[in-house]
Amino acid sequence: MEKTNRNYLVYGGAFLVGLIMVYTIYSSIGPSNQHISEDLDSNLISPAIKKSAMKEFDVQLAKKLMDKNNDGKCDYCGMDVNLCIDSGMMECTMDPEATIGILGSSHVHADIKVYLDGERINLSDEKYFVKSAFAHVEREANDEETGNVLHIHADGVPLWLFFESLGIKIDSYNLFVNGGEEHFDTYAPKNLDKILVTTSGYEDAKNELNSITNFAKNH
């Protein structure tokens, strides 16, 4: 009987020590990991967007890119295409030719101006705000910056996606980035790029180039 009681005490003490160790580890590591996760989320995704919160435009484009035969399954991984979309994919990660990363994989800011026949298209109008979670303009804390800063929330997002989300046809537009000419089909904005989209040629676009702001550095 005495031996049995001694065993209970030993096992009970070991159990208590184990609980203390688990609590200590959780207290020291758990909150830290939580803060890291929150920091990543806040750095990559602005208050206007949360991860996997695709807009209707994104959903339709994702289906167009991943389910070309409209059978409801991803052409590359065979899963329900909605599962790929719910995980934040615009293009399936199993597609060897995919260039667009998962929503939240990066957060790029670039200054942008758009001109049609010499007249600036006012992207600070709220009708242009956050049409895509992947590439958008939004209301900024500083009103002067609103409509001048392009937000990109994934790796490799092409600029044409932003304009397609706005319903702006870019066939007749020229693209200049940091003073040099680029092509819509291959250009993906990089951090602090200065982007001009215009129907003017290079010589006529010099004043438009000079109008590009320098607000992206504030983000």
User: What pLDDT, on the 0 to 100 scale, is given for residue 44?
Assistant: 52
Check whether 176 has a pLDDT greater than 90: yes
User: In the predicted model, what is the mean pLDDT of the chain?
Assistant: 83
**pLDDT of amino acid 62:** 97
Q: How many CB atoms lie within 10 A of CB 216?
A: 23
Per-residue confidence (pLDDT) for residue 118, from 0 to 100: 94
Dig out the tokens for 2 from the structure: 């005495």
Predicted confidence (pLDDT) at residue 24 exceeds the cutoff of 70 = no
**Rounded CA separation 25/181 (Å):** 55
pLDDT at 32 over 80: no
What's the rounded Cα separation, in Å, for the pair 219 and 211? 19
Higher pLDDT, 137 or 37: 137
φ, ψ of residue 184 to 5 degrees: the values are: -60, -35
Average pLDDT over residues 76-102: 95
Q: Is the pLDDT of residue 86 over 70?
A: yes
- The pLDDT of 113-135, averaged and rounded, is 97
CB 98 within 8 A of CB 91: yes
Q: How far apart are CA 140 and CA 44, in angstroms?
A: 16
**Count of Cβ atoms closer than 10 Å to residue 150 Cβ:** 22
Q: Which range, of 20-24, 139-143, 169-173, averages the lowest pLDDT?
A: 20-24
65 has pLDDT over 80 = yes
Q: Is the pLDDT of residue 42 over 80?
A: no
**According to the model, what pLDDT value does residue 203 have?**
86
Residue among 43, 161, 175, 151 nearest 99 (CA): 161
pLDDT at 205 over 80: yes
CB 67 within 8 A of CB 75: yes
The pTM of the full predicted model, rounded to 2 decimals, is: 0.77
Residue that is written with structure tokens 């995980």 in the block = 87
